Amino acid sequence: MTLYDSARDVVRSVYDARIDTPAILDTGLYFPAADDFVAKWQDIRDEAFAVRRNLNKVPRFHELMKEQADISANDGRDWRMFIMRAYGIDVPENLARCPTISGLIEDQPEVMSCALSFLAPGKHVPQHRGPFRGILRFHLILAMPRTPSGDIAAVLEIDGKPYRLADGDSLLWDDTYSHEVWNKSEEVRIALLLDVWRRDMPYDMEVLSRLVVFAVRLGMKWTGVRYTG
């Protein structure tokens, strides 16, 4: 077990003891701005398609975070992430390529991270859990492949329950619950992923969350990770 794994497990156990909410959360309560993103999902999709034209220049997830190799580099198929904001730090070069997304998150400081996720044909992201409960995951489908029979080809399973999201569908969820996804198609699945600051945390969890974010930012600076191709 790595130092990252050990620290993640300790932090996660603290949150699990202090915050008890279900896997799927009400966007109206926890992320009211979700409606703004959904309303412009087709414009966002157009920007994602433009990025896809040079997909080989978009980093794979484990190239950005080597700790994610077990879920990103597990099967030789790509999971590429076009990062526009990471833990509150903007990536100006990437935001400039996506003006709709840039405009949406500009006045949304609760959006801690923002990325376009490109899941390659046949890619399986195995079951895993996110690191801490202070941030929620907003998932907006931009291009969902279909099976030959017309069914959703990439099913997101969260806490043992499957979610079949079509183009323009969204979901707000707690990614510390076990989850996985498998793109059972010959096309790339594209989604907008936002990490959203959790509202109404107990004070001690609010403080801990800010410390975690600060530590992650220090780590990003230390490793000098580059989010552009």
Structure confidence at residue 2 (pLDDT): 62
In the block, residue with structure tokens 């969820």: 173
Structure confidence at residue 41 (pLDDT): 98
Q: Which residues of the chain have pLDDT under 70?
A: 1-6, 223-229
Tell me the residue range of the domain where 46 lies. Answer: 3-16+23-223
d(CA 127, CA 146): 22
Please check whether residue 85 lies inside any domain of the structure.
yes
DSSP 186: S
Is-contact 193 172, C-beta < 8 A? no
Task: Give the C-alpha distances (Å, rounded to integers) separating 25 from 28, 34, 170, 217.
Answer: 9, 12, 11, 27
Structure confidence at residue 10 (pLDDT): 80
HEC sequence for 27-47: HHHHCCCHHHHHHCHHHHHHH
Please check whether residue 228 lies inside any domain of the structure.
no
Please check whether residue 103 lies inside any domain of the structure.
yes
Q: What's the CATH code of the domain at 95?
A: 2.60.120.330
Please check whether residue 43 lies inside any domain of the structure.
yes
pTM passes above 0.95: no
Task: Give the C-alpha distances (Å, rounded to integers) separating 228 from 20, 33, 160, 165, 219.
Answer: 37, 27, 35, 28, 18
Number of domains in the chain: 1
Please check whether residue 229 lies inside any domain of the structure.
no
Is-contact 168 42, C-beta < 8 A? yes
Q: pLDDT tens digits for 100-136? A: 999 999 989 999 999 999 999 999 999 998 888 999 9
Q: Please give the mean pLDDT across all residues of the chain.
A: 91
d(CA 138, CA 174): 9
Is-contact 48 37, C-beta < 8 A? no
Classify residue 75 by burial, with Cβ atoms within 10 Å: 0-12, 13-18, 19+.
middle
Cβ neighbours for 10, distance < 8 A, ≥ 6 positions apart: none
Q: pLDDT tens digits for 6-15? A: 677 788 888 8
Three-class secondary structure of residue 18 per DSSP: helix
